[in-house]
Amino acid sequence: MNWSAEAPANIALIKYMGKSADNIPLNPSLSFTLDKFKTRVEFDLLEGANQDEWDASQNINEADQVRFLKHLSFLKETFGIKENFRVRSQNDFPSHCGLASSASSFAALTLCAAKAASELKGADFTDPTKVNLLSRKGSGSSCRSFFKPFALWDVEGARPIELCGIKFLHQVVVVDAARKEISSSEAHKRVLTSRLWNGRPERARNRLEKLVEALKHNSWKDAYEITWDEFWDMHELFETSAPSFGYMKDSSQRVLKLVRELWNTEGDGPLVTMDAGPNVHLLYREDQRELCNQFRIQKLGDYVVLGEGER
């Protein structure tokens, strides 16, 4: 017997940064789901084995393997699964492109275990309103990957949120594809030591309210300013932590400057945000497709750009 599941990555516009035990966020967050960046997880039933194992074809570092299998043990215990599996996990986007894949991989792992449990136990365990709560325990941001196009995650868990009828075009400018030295899990702990931490959950909550209003009322420039302030807030927390750390590169700053110039000259442009990494995410409205193409060709031609219009 075997099972498989796919789940997409997501990019937060209002960030989950700072958490308590079990990945309970200290503020609500809002994300856009990245349908073009998916992880696929597969299980083969292992007859007679006494533990789960990775498929030999997998090239995954040891710390990630341990974290993944630990979450699988938790899921099996929750669902009452006694059987053991051979596990494969594969991203359908280029690996080593510096995109955090923990959200998509933990969501896909959780869904795959829920599918296996459903068949082995003869009941349906795949309801996303319940599965996202389990996925959160593996990696917080993964709980948002069960909903689209936007997900809101607050004390009640994650759910889809209706913001506007507009289709979004997503691009990520990959300025550095290396694995990050400070994981997001570590970043969540360090930001609590920042001199700027005071008031952070309230700032995020206020921005979330304002962003939802801006997107509902098509106030695109307001949405751009709110998301701009939000990722800088998070990166300033990194830079002012003890010990301080950071992901911003000169090349990230160059891309940000290009986006700012676009806004200043055209009075329009994409929403822009950055994760806990150096790469720059851009979100355009569908009616900006031409602007999106022109900007990529004329200004981002020297960079690797994944997502919309990718070549």
In the complex, the residues that contact ligand DP6 under the rule CB under 6 A are: 12, 15-17, 23, 29, 100, 102, 139-141, 184-185, 188, 275-276
Closest approach of ligand DP6 to the CB of residue 277, in Å: 8
Which residues fall within 8 angstroms of residue 251, CB to CB, at 6 or more apart?
175, 176, 278, 303
Strand partners, 115: none
Whether 234 and 247 have beta carbons less than 8 Å apart is answered as: no
Give CA–CA dist 146/213, Å, rounded: 23
Please state whether the peptide bond connecting residue 243 to the residue before it is cis, i.e. omega within 30 degrees of 0. yes
Closest approach of ligand DP6 to the CB of residue 199, in Å: 18
Closest approach of ligand DP6 to the CB of residue 102, in Å: 5
Closest approach of ligand DP6 to the CB of residue 41, in Å: 16
Is 107 or 292 the residue whose CB approaches ligand DP6 more closely? Answer: 107
Six-digit token pair at 252?
A: 């990230």
Is 190 or 296 the residue whose CB approaches ligand DP6 more closely? Answer: 190
Count of CB atoms within 10 A of residue 297's CB?
12
Is 136 or 296 the residue whose CB approaches ligand DP6 more closely? Answer: 136
Closest approach of ligand DP6 to the CB of residue 32, in Å: 11
Helix axes 289-298, 250-266, angle to 10 degrees: 130
The secondary structure of 45-75, three-state, reads EECCCCCCEECCCCCCCHHHHHHHHHHHHHH
- Chain residue at closest Cβ approach to ligand DP6: 140
Strand partners, 7: 39
Give CA–CA dist 215/1, Å, rounded: 45
Closest approach of ligand DP6 to the CB of residue 12, in Å: 3
Six-digit token pair at 174?
A: 């990959």
Closest approach of ligand DP6 to the CB of residue 10, in Å: 7
Whether 283 and 270 have beta carbons less than 8 Å apart is answered as: yes
Give CA–CA dist 217/140, Å, rounded: 29
